[in-house]
Amino acid sequence: MKFLLLPLVAGLATATPLAIMADSFIKRGVTSSINYSQMTLYGGFERAYNLTGDEKYATWYRGQIDALVQSDGTIKGWDYGKYSLDNYRMGNNLLYWYEKTGEAKYKNAASIIREQINRHPRTATGGFWHRNPEYPNQMWLDGIFMADSFYAKWTKSFDNQNTTAWDDIARQYDNIEAHTRDNKTGLLKHGYDESKVAVWADPVTGASPLVWDRAVGWYFMSLSEVIPLWPQTHPARKRLISYFTTLAAALKKTQDSSGGWWLIMSEQYVGVTGNYIESSGSAMFTYGFLKGIKLGLLDKTQYLSPAQKGYDLLVSKFVVEKDDGTVDWEGTVEVGSLNSNASFEYYISVPLAVNDFKGAGPFIMTP
């Protein structure tokens, strides 16, 4: 299958690659779930609909959300006693449909998540625990994407003058930066334990030892989502832009000659047997470069070529044509968790999945 170049690059109106991928998921079917994986895929359908104007994408996507949200705005199966940042990503999708339709049920459902954030356990410095009770005092890069993009979107939409809320959102990014950023490489470790008791925690910073590509990808994407929402006069705006641009520079330096990025990006493991170019992180970084260019945060002359190289790899290596006219998305690692010893051996032992939403979603979302 011959895919056309990115519309951003070629100046074309075509949406062929993302449309074929989205069509393939519709044909295969997706079980509706509050899981962040599905919500990431649904974000891709927002992009497919916004770019093509084809109502089939909106109809399918809304049907997936309506299977979860009842007429009064309650969320089917929502556990009010479960404090997991992973479940909060859904709030972004709910607000998309509220903005699009004005139907109160979507805002009511999103308010459930917003209120849960108010009750969510925190570290001593105010950071959200990744999950209670499993990961006390731990912040993961993943959690920033899951919770803080929604927290910012809600605040922008309904509470924009609440400086305390904006300060609180900024604190989550500041904590991650203070504990996980490697000042030598500019990359960020997977997470940190503020109590420093986890088996993998650095005794000084509390950070986990390695840079896992998808964790960095979640963080990079979240920054690109939050910065456009941020109040121009709030002092954290400049910090967030710096977090994004310095990370982009580090990612540009660590892009492999193939156009992709390694599963474990820590310098000592690049090219080591067992390590490999992974598709979800590569899609997220390509997305982030292009989104940064569109937002005016990244210099097009510096980042368009790496973005195109990344996109070309995604299409040539990870998008695989099937006999029935659909395509598969390949090369995405199933999971990466700090519920482990966070060793290189652990990360490379996790199997790859076909048609994993965490990789296909960011690919479809590519600007």
Question: 27-44 pLDDT, tens per residue?
Answer: 999 999 999 999 999 999
135: its two tokens: 């990961």
Q: Considering the chain, what is the average pLDDT of its residues?
A: 95
Q: What domains can be seen in the chain, in order of their start residue?
A: 7-365 (1.50.10.10)
User: Residue 181's beta-bridge partner residues?
Assistant: 188
CA neighbor of 82 nearest in space, from 134, 124, 36: 134
User: Residue 132's beta-bridge partner residues?
Assistant: 83
Quick check: helix, strand or coil at residue 159?
coil
Question: Within the chain, where are the H helices?
Answer: 7-10, 16-28, 36-52, 55-66, 90-101, 104-119, 141-143, 149-158, 163-180, 213-226, 236-254, 279-295, 300-313, 344-349, 357-365
pTM of the model: 0.96
Antiparallel, parallel or unpaired: β 352-353 and 332-333: antiparallel
179: its two tokens: 């504990």
Give yes or no for a cis peptide into 133 (omega within 30° of 0). yes
Per-residue confidence (pLDDT) for residue 15, from 0 to 100? 58
Per-residue model confidence as pLDDT tens digits over 179-195: 999 999 999 999 999 99
* pLDDT at residue 239 greater than cutoff 60: yes
Per-residue model confidence as pLDDT tens digits over 55-84: 999 999 999 999 999 999 999 999 999 999
DSSP state of 75: B
Distance separating the N- and C-terminal Cα atoms of the chain = 21
- Assign 16 a pLDDT band (cuts: 50, 70, 90): confident
Per-residue confidence (pLDDT) for residue 5, from 0 to 100? 39
Per-residue confidence (pLDDT) for residue 187, from 0 to 100? 98
DSSP state of 175: H
Give yes or no for a contact between 88 and 58, defined as CB atoms under 8 angstroms apart. no
